[in-house]
Amino acid sequence: MKIATIAAVMVAASTAFGELIVKDGDTLAFLGDSITQQGQEKTDGYVNLVLRSLAIEGVYVKPVKAGVSGNKSNDMLARLDSNVLSKKPSVMTLSCGVNDVWHQDWNKGVPLEDYKKNISAIFDKCDAAGCKVVVLTATMFEKPGMEKFKHNVMIAPYNEWLREEAKRRGYPVADLNADMWKAHAENPSVKLTADGVHMRPEGNRLMARGVLRALGMAENRVASFDWENWKPVWVLCRFDLKPDADKADYLAKTKDVLAAVRAEPGCCEYRLLGDAETDWSAPQRFGDRTLWMLEKWLSVEDLKAHLATPHMKKFGPSVSPMRTSSSFHVLEDVLP
């Protein structure tokens, strides 16, 4: 390759990515509460949008999805080592504060000074482990009279401390709270949450854009993703095992590939199923030699990429001789 061409490629990469702090092959963790849990479980959740967008840019990361409903800063601190740092992430996003404030209604929240201690301890542990933290400011409460709504007033000093502490430590910040207020100022009729707290698709897209910017992705690339028109597909495969095939071996081979498949950025669901053990006589039964694979992918392109991965090229030939027949169906939602 000519030097001029190499230089052009390097400039293009710099323009596309900015200075990404997460690299291809890195482990990227998402620590948070139910907003993050929904963001990692829903196809259009912010965690999955971030992972898919990085993959489009050629940055394939190993995700650690650590959102747990109801969690506050003390809960996240308690499980940080086991749920996150044990996976050795190079980068971790932290979304924490909504429940610390909200749960004070039931005397189960975390006062600001205790919150500071908990979050500082999380930061210190991540620093010691060599894990870069990306701070997400706590999202707003989308309630009537939002400017004066008590939880928005209460959460303001939590976010102000987060911004100051992140600046002191040199952490990147996704100021999602400010982004939400800006979105409402520009369009007062916008609805970012389903219940005032948990995100609608619009809210998840706003969060994903903020996280990608904080990870260092250039604004022109963040703006280029057409998330609203991504079209997920379902896959249903039927596998009939030969009478002499070792089913336990088949299951073991499948189990070996599950983690790699589920870590693919376009994978939303990947499960091997069989007849349910029940004494109910109504359902049709196929027998214990018939297995089903239920999959969901963000797009047909993600499905095609999945089939071309090294682990699937190795897995397919290892199990196909054990089957008498198989079927492969690609489906889409008929009703939303």
Tokens of 36: 């993050």
Alpha carbon separation from 45 to 102, 198, 199, 205 (Å, rounded): 22, 11, 8, 8
d(CA 221, CA 209): 10
The residue ranges of the chain whose pLDDT is under 70 are 1-18, 336
Q: Tens digit of pLDDT for each residue in 255-308?
A: 999 999 988 878 888 999 999 999 998 999 999 999 999 999 988 988 999 999
Alpha carbon separation from 322 to 100, 242, 325 (Å, rounded): 53, 6, 9
Is the separation of the CB atoms in 31 and 126 below 8 Å? no
d(CA 146, CA 154): 12
Residue 269 confidence (pLDDT): 86
Q: What is the DSSP string of 314-335?
A: HHHHHHGGGEEEEEEEEE--S-
Residue 184 confidence (pLDDT): 95
Sorted by where each starts, the structural domains of the chain and their CATH numbers stand as 14-228 (3.40.50.1110), 231-331 (3.30.70.100)
Residue 233 confidence (pLDDT): 92
What is the DSSP code (8-state) at residue 111? -
Residue at token pair 């009703």: 335
Residue 12 confidence (pLDDT): 35
Q: Tens digit of pLDDT for each residue in 53-64?
A: 998 888 989 999
Residue 5 confidence (pLDDT): 31
Is the separation of the CB atoms in 287 and 277 below 8 Å? no
